[in-house]
Chains A and B, each alone.
Chain A
Amino acid sequence: MAFTEAIRIAFQSLRANKLRSFLTVLGILIGVSSVIAVVAITEGLDSYISNQVLELGSRSFRLQKGPDIITSHDEWREVMRRKRLDLRDLEALKASCTRCAEVGASVGTSGSAKRGRELAKGVRVTGITENISRIGAIRDLEQGRHLVQQDIDQSRRVAVIGPDLIDVLFGSVDPMGKEIDIDGHAVKVVGVTEAKGSVFGQSQDNFIWIPITTFQKLYGSRRSITIQAEAVSMERFEDAQDQVRLAMRNRRHLTYLKDDDFSIETGESIMDLWQTATRGIYVVTIVVTAISLLIGGIVVMNIMLVSVTERIQEIGVRKAMGARRRDIMRQFLVESVVLSGFGGFLGVLGAAGIALALGGVIGNMMSLDFSAPVRPWAVGLALAVSSVVGLVAGLYPASRAAALDPVEALRNE
């Protein structure tokens, strides 16, 4: 009956107390905007990371000495004691993994490259087998040729370089066939790859590829190599991993009860790790949001009590004019819900702003297309939750207003 009247009164009192209303709903605003912004940004990162993982190649996996992520000191000590992987392991796996289309290897270090007076520091120097450029993320060449089997077999001093090095070392000079100096050793440039841009602020184009045999000559062979394999098909992905695992256990003479003393990493394991992290972020967000909504609700309740006290005489007049308990109850409940819903609405706007700004910053940082989408369901949920907070926070003040005695209320000045 008096529902439209209640909404009208609610907006009227919201307008009459603009600053107070805004301050009242700040808690709800912060709660709502933080949850929406976090959801938007993690979702953006989600799709970004799965793209990255796809790029790694869904059929490829890596065999390495230790896992990508070590979570404890004990684990680290155990990994440190493991035997390193070397080129003999590579040859053995090539022979025994029948489900693998390709088995290659790489080993890298950070070095510097020099040409004349130009110096490039922090260059990723990687020794590779010739097939590495075909496993996982494929890098096409801008110029020249890839490394070939003879380069590996004869430990030739040749290199394929990333486009960042062209800028630093060559400028407008044609790099093909020119020599560069890698940590004191001269190698000849035979190819230049296409550019990939940067990820998390890290350039993907600042590297030098040399034959893995050449790498071991220049830097020694004590470093454990990473063996990279690609299954013949998606269906054989698990089989291929099993073959590699079995072959390695045989080579290491591991008995039935012993754990692997090597690690196999797939794109999936990165995805798993990310999803675990995301879950953590969500849990924290939900807790933070719940706390700010609780505080927001308390503030709303407090201000509704003030609002009731301020309007005791008005309540008396309304009762004298025939308002029943439930009319007064509804009036203040609607006001409380409108107030909180308004906070939720502002929170949505705030979240959209945050998501847009952060999306831009992150996108810039990675020089990639990155968007943090504000999902309709998140907006709907935020508005619903803030309205419920308003409803709950309004119950007590509204029932106090409704229970006022009209005679007492009218006498109030």
Chain B
Amino acid sequence: MSTATPDTFDGPIIHAEDLWRTYEMGAEEIHALRGVTFEIQKGEYVAVMGPSGSGKSTLMNLIGCLDTPTSGIYVLRGKTVSEMDDDELAAIRNREIGFVFQTFNLLPRASALHNVELPLVYAGIPRDERIEKAKQALEMVDLGDRITHKPNELSGGQRQRVAVARALVMSPSILLADEPTGNLDTATGQDIMALFDRLKEAGHTIILVTHEREIADHARRTIKIRDGQIESDERRGAE
């Protein structure tokens, strides 16, 4: 495996080349992705858009290393993910990807602090250091005073901010957000998007999967997916 670190690596964060993902439904083959090629540079803020059934979820799973392509090459920060086994994928997800889900996906019985600790646990970081880092991450999302609260004691926006803290605690290469405002009211959604804007300014690479135009507009680049292929890839603003 490559020994590149965030400081020394200067190639593209993501290099995807002719990605295909085919599912077998009985005798039938369904091509969810049909040859997708793109690159994402460090510090970019990219929205992936597309209607349901377009293959954007499949693409998100591939980018997030939850799944591997049927064919094609996926290189994440210099490492060829498309050839990795389960355990290597788990390690990559742990170190390189910070997930933010539409339904937050926090562990209901665990405190905010423990939820944020979770990736650190699987990284094998000692307890004291874990707690220290998890606290810092929660402070970064302005939840330093809620660390002992369980998810059901927090509002929707607070839960999503806990999830963002959890996604950031390992300092991943990519923050991968799947409809992060889908379960929030408009005002709270705006708060979360403002947080993403701040993270972008701080230099994080963000990939936002959404079907809402307004949400996608926060990004500086929009990749539109339709029928398993890239329909358009537009950049705008000061880039």
Contacts and interface: CB of A to CB of B under 8 A. Distances in A.
Interface string B71-98: 0000000000000001100110111010
A5 interface: yes
A5 B109 contact: no
Contact of A327 (B95, B109, B122): B122
B61 interface: yes
Nearest to A316: B105
Contact of B118 (A321, A405, A406): A321
B105 A406 contact: no
Nearest to A326: B87
| Interface size bracket, B side | 20 to 34
Interface residues of A, number: 25
Given A319-B90, A327-B122, A407-B67, A16 B109 contact: yes
Given A16-B109, A410-B105, A320 B66 contact: yes
Interface in B103-126: 105-107, 109-110, 118-119, 121-124
A184 interface: no
B64 interface: yes
Dominant SS at the A interface? helix
A317 B121 CA distance: 13
A12 interface: yes
Nearest to A15: B109
A313 B105 contact: yes
A318 B66 contact: no
A321 B66 contact: no
Given A16-B109, A324-B90, A407 B122 contact: no
Query: Which 7 A-B residue pairs are closest in the complex by CB-CB distance?
Result: A322-B94, A322-B122, A324-B90, A1-B124, A321-B119, A406-B66, A317-B105
28 contacts: A1-B122, A1-B124, A2-B122, A4-B127, A12-B110, A16-B109, A317-B106, A318-B122, A320-B64, A320-B66, A320-B97, A320-B99, A321-B93, A321-B166, A322-B93, A322-B94, A322-B95, A322-B119, A322-B123, A322-B170, A323-B90, A324-B86, A324-B90, A324-B91, A326-B87, A406-B66, A407-B61, A410-B101
